[in-house]
Structure 1
């Protein structure tokens, strides 16, 4: 079941970045501007955020299995529509539907874990999901770059549709209903809004949610700016940059695996704080060196590696602690966390780009600022729990 949930959780992050290298070819084929093609990414990210806010609370009312099956089925159709889109406008619309439907896999996978596990067990299960989510945005451009030459950008969307179909089968045969009828709630929109509002006033929930969201904000800041920093500022080749991307993905994966092994002994709260301390020290050092002009490649690369790797101690534990605050509304809790995560992701990329393409300062500042917010949130909002 966990493997099926991990696939459901990882398909949408793959769909964010897998087709980025095909943007120029898409613009030519669709007779569109670069901005028009970039809107397809914005539409998908918006769909992911909106979809989680809608599907998560609805799964608290209707159960997990039916919305997850419906979402993955629509995701297959949306991928096929993207592959067949004759214009940029229709592709933007299809990508929005792609995002909304793909949100089901992310938000409900977290909710299912929240239904079935608490404490250490939940942290271990979330660790597997976070390994998928952390690696996907790093490896997706590499996979897409290999595919675009062989099957074109339309073929990439066909591959994504195939992955969604595989997800549907995995859910159909391996994921049972995990929310009993006696734990579901009735009522309409007013009930959903009331339960969501209750979560937004829960200080520990917000503290752990912000730790998760802004921990990933550090990763998004790195991903958005690192191509320019490593290639333009440090003069690395595309091949070397790809190796560094892969190394950071391996670091995150290894730390997530380590977290799953030791969380039973040390506890989620302690490991979350250890991860935040490591991330804070490394990202702040990176920021200070960049701001003073002393940042060099041989220092920046290991600092970024440790920063990204420390997210493996933050993501799963913060998620487990946040969802545990809402045992009767795991879908709504998951929705808030996920919507904030992808809302921040959609904001970070353009903000990091405002500082220019020939300096490491914007990346370092964004990474350090995200870490400070994550650590402060836990200290101030969840420190007394």
Structure 2
């Protein structure tokens, strides 16, 4: 792993688009991790000792999406599975906005968040697979750059959410929607760079 490899990856706009798509998708989860306990416990009155049960729905959907990905990635390819995962997450971002805007039952929020988070299992792995198709000789460099950007964007988003005065679900769901819109935009932008 050399500095010149990092430079070449930063110059590869398509690669950078996939890394940023994955990074913003991941950052949406950080919005939930930062604001979710407040939303679930303080706003919706979930007992503190039951929060783990609700959080467990996210894990269930991560497992489901990982299983779906494992079953279909060979048939449809990593890029199509990446698109599918981001589409699911994008639809859930819109759904969460509607849940809050229409003041729907709390369980809709829980399911929407879980499906949003579940999409990450499909997005991050397939983004890496797509990048490594072009750069198999730089797997370590690609992985370290993608991980750094993913956690960096997530940390920035999580910090921003934590600093906002939270009195409603809006900071959490709007941040999640914003992140997936950014992720989808980078995925679409990647098409321009072959």
Q: TM-score, normalised by structure 2?
A: 0.91
Distance in 2 of aligned mates of 1:278 and 1:199: 28
Contact 1:230/1:236 (CA < 8 Å) preserved in 2? yes
Q: What is the aligned residue count?
A: 194
Distance in 1 of aligned mates of 2:77 and 2:193: 16
Distance in 2 of aligned mates of 1:210 and 1:217: 10
Match of 1:263 among 73, 90, 99: 73
Contact 1:205/1:323 (CA < 8 Å) preserved in 2? no
Determine helix, strand or coil for the equivalent of 1:328: helix
Corresponding residue of 1:305: 114
Deviation at 1:383, TM superposition (A): 5.3
Corresponding residue of 2:131: 322
Structure 1 residue runs of 5 or longer lacking an equivalent are: 1-56, 58-191
Deviation at 1:377, TM superposition (A): 0.5
CA change 1:298–1:247 in 2 (3 A) is closer
Match of 1:243 among 29, 53, 62: 53
CA change 1:211–1:349 in 2 (3 A) is same
Structure 2 residue runs of 5 or longer lacking an equivalent are: none
Corresponding residue of 2:186: 377
Q: Structure with the greater relative contact order (CA < 8 A, sep ≥ 6): 1 or 2?
A: 2
Distance in 1 of aligned mates of 2:15 and 2:134: 6
Corresponding residue of 1:368: 177
Determine helix, strand or coil for the equivalent of 1:329: helix
Contact 1:206/1:322 (CA < 8 Å) preserved in 2? no
Corresponding residue of 1:104: none
Match of 2:143 among 334, 352, 355: 334
Distance in 1 of aligned mates of 2:122 and 2:192: 17
Distance in 2 of aligned mates of 1:239 and 1:324: 45
Deviation at 1:196, TM superposition (A): 1.3
1:279 aligns with 2:89: yes
Determine helix, strand or coil for the equivalent of 2:135: coil
Deviation at 1:255, TM superposition (A): 1.1
Contact 2:25/2:120 (CA < 8 Å) preserved in 1? yes
Distance in 2 of aligned mates of 1:208 and 1:341: 11
Match of 2:13 among 180, 193, 203: 203
Distance in 2 of aligned mates of 1:355 and 1:294: 21
